[in-house]
Amino acid sequence: MKYDNYIKTIADRFTTYLDEIATEHNFEHGPEFEIAICKTLRRALPSKYGVCRGYLVAADGDKAGDDIIIYNRERFPTLRMIDNEAFAQRENIPIDAAYAYIEAKNTLILSGKKETFDTAIKQVAKAKSLVERREAIDVTKAIDPYIVMNHLRPIGRKHWPRICNPFFTAIISRHVRQSGSTNPLTGLQVCAALNGYEIPDENPPDLIIAGEDVVGLPFVNNKDENTETYDSPFMVSEAHFSLIKQPGLAFAIGFCSLIYALETIHLGIMPWPAIIGDAISAEITSTK
């Protein structure tokens, strides 16, 4: 394996992190697994990225999501300013400060009364739809959102979002079951089950980790060569999910896809005048 077994090393560390946290939490309950993923991401991500459980909030107060949000904590402090490990409290994160949203399920159930996969798909779609309300950043503002660099021109990238501040979404699960009463599926069974599932074209997830062995990534068909290419971590209109079975490496591959996406996202400005104005609008006075 190239790069000195980089993916394998990450996979081992993820397994170690989750095993350590599993001694404190019962992963059979949703919140505990969400907290475990938050702690794992907090250890693994660069310090500029904040990790919390909570809701994405638009300027008009509309909310979406209730799982894991990755945001720019250098520009937006949450109420949990000091304790970076206190993930029990849910936060409200403005859509302008958000990089990514993750639906975390200890067990992803594909059908039946306790089905969770379709719910996760819908939650991701709602999160993406809400974030689409923020100002789109093009290449002229990608270096610094407060400075317009008119001489810049976009680099020709075929299979990438058209804006510089796209929003990344993912579904992460530790196990996959066909229904609530069946045994966890093997990697081959997961691939067979998900291959028959139609993921909606509108605001789909960009990444699916379906257990420890299967990861879904966006690929694009190369018609001339009859091959598929993984280029962008984002699910653009011309892309489709390809399910990859790599025993024990799904979390590591998914994490690298997440990092790849995060480092390409250039957020716009925080609407501080609107935030401050909303707080003082009833008591504004002026002096001359």
| Mean pLDDT rounded to a whole number for the chain | 84
SS3 label, residue 177: strand
Split at pLDDT 50, 70, 90, the class of 181 is: confident
Residue 99 has pLDDT above 90, yes or no: yes
38, burial (CB in 10 Å: exposed 0-12, middle 13-18, buried 19+): buried
Which pLDDT score, from 0 to 100, does residue 76 have? Answer: 77
Q: Is residue 105 part of a domain?
A: yes
Whether 280 shows a pLDDT value over 90: the answer reads no
- For the chain, how many structural domains are there in total? 1
The whole-angstrom separation of Cα 69 and Cα 92 is 10
Residue 48 reports pLDDT greater than 50:
yes
Determine the structural domain holding residue 196 and report its residue range: 2-278
Check pLDDT > 90 for residue 49: yes
Which carries the bigger pLDDT value, residue 57 or residue 281? 57
* Residue with the two structure tokens 């690929």: 219
| Predicted pLDDT of residue 153 | 56
What is the mean pLDDT of the segment spanning 169-188? Answer: 92
236 belongs to a structural domain: yes
In this structure, of 13-17, 99-103, 282-286, the range with the lowest mean pLDDT score is 282-286
Q: Longest C-alpha distance within the chain, in Å?
A: 73
Q: In the predicted model, is pLDDT for residue 113 greater than 80?
A: no
Q: Is the pLDDT of residue 192 over 50?
A: yes
Question: Considering the domain boundaries, does residue 56 fall inside one?
Answer: yes
Q: Crossing angle for the helix pair 2-22 and 30-44, nearest 10 degrees? A: 140
pLDDT in tens, 118-135: 999 999 999 999 999 999
280 is written with which tokens?
A: 């003082």
Burial class (CB in 10 A: 0-12, 13-18, 19+), 71: buried
Nearest to 135 by CA among 58, 69, 55: 58
Q: Using N-to-C axis directions, what is the helix angle for 250-262 and 2-22, rounded to 10°?
A: 110
> How many other CB atoms sit within 10 Å of the CB of residue 274?
12
Residue 288 has pLDDT above 50, yes or no: no
Contacts of 61 by beta carbon, 8 Å cutoff, 6+ apart: none
Question: Can you give the pLDDT at residue 188?
Answer: 94
Classify residue 87 as exposed, middle or buried by CB count within 10 Å of its CB (0-12, 13-18, 19+).
Answer: buried
Mean pLDDT value of segment 249-276: 89
Range 254-281 average pLDDT: 86
Measured between alpha carbons, how far is 124 from 118 in angstroms, rounded to an integer? 10
What pLDDT band is residue 117 in, cutting at 50, 70 and 90? Answer: very high
Question: Using the 8-state DSSP alphabet, how is residue 169 labeled?
Answer: E
Separation CA 254–CA 216 (nearest Å): 8
Residue 54 burial (C-beta neighbours within 10 Å; 0-12, 13-18, 19+): buried
Query: Average of pLDDT values for 78-93?
Result: 68
Whether pLDDT at 145 is above 60: yes
pTM beyond 0.85, yes or no:
yes
Cα(21)–Cα(87) distance, integer angstroms: 13
Instruction: Tell me what pLDDT residue 82 has.
Output: 46
Length of the chain: 288
Q: Which tokens is 259 given? A: 């990092």
pLDDT for 202-248, tens place per residue? 999 999 999 999 999 999 988 776 788 898 999 999 999 999 999 99
164 domain-assigned: yes
3-state secondary structure of 244: strand
The answer as to whether 157 is a domain residue is yes
Higher pLDDT, 56 or 285: 56
Is the predicted pLDDT of residue 31 greater than 60, yes or no? yes
Q: What is the reported pLDDT for 58?
A: 93
DSSP class per residue in 50-95? EEEEEEEE-TTS-EE--SEEEEETTT---S--S-TT--SSEEEEEG
Among 9, 43, 48, smallest CA distance to 263 is for 48
Whole-number pLDDT of residue 150: 62
Q: What average pLDDT does this structure show over 161-183?
A: 91
What is the band of 271 on the pLDDT scale with cuts at 50, 70, 90? confident
Q: Answer yes or no: is 286 within a domain.
A: no
